[in-house]
Amino acid sequence: DSGVTQTPKHLITATGQRVTLRCSPRSGDLSVYWYQQSLDQGLQFLIQYYNGEERAKGNILERFSAQQFPDLHSELNLSSLELGDSALYFCASSVGSSVTDTQYFGPGTRLTVL
């Protein structure tokens, strides 16, 4: 158990819908990262927050957005869903954002868009 929690574990929805994925980092960690794992793209970085502020953006679609709240939990919002958004979404956390900080991953949320 990494100490990072993600809910829900599974999500099945239809095209055009909007969903929210939630992540609680390890106690004391200030950085939260979101990654998408799909069969065709592999594991890709989406976005990072550090202590409530956006720190970096990766290959995140405009239909996707995220935020980190004062209690440091984070939410990833996916809207106007398409079939291609079906994937495993991981959250990770680390103490800071130093290159030597270890990122600890949650169990993931499996999103299926029908």
Partner 1 sequence: GNSVTQMEGPVTLSEEAFLTINCTYTATGYPSLFWYVQYPGEGLQLLLKATKADDKGSNKGFEATYRKETTSFHLEKGSVQVSDSAVYFCALRDVQGSSNTGKLIFGQGTTLQVKP
Q: Determine, following the binding rule CB under 8 A, whether residue 108 of this chain makes contact with partner 1.
A: yes
Smallest gap from Cβ 106 to partner 1, in A, equals 6
Q: Tell which positions 16-35 bind partner 1, by CB under 8 A.
A: 31, 33, 35
Amino acid code (one letter) for 24 = S
Residue ranges in contact with partner 1 by CB under 8 A: 2, 31, 33, 35, 42-45, 48, 55-56, 58, 90, 92, 94, 96-108
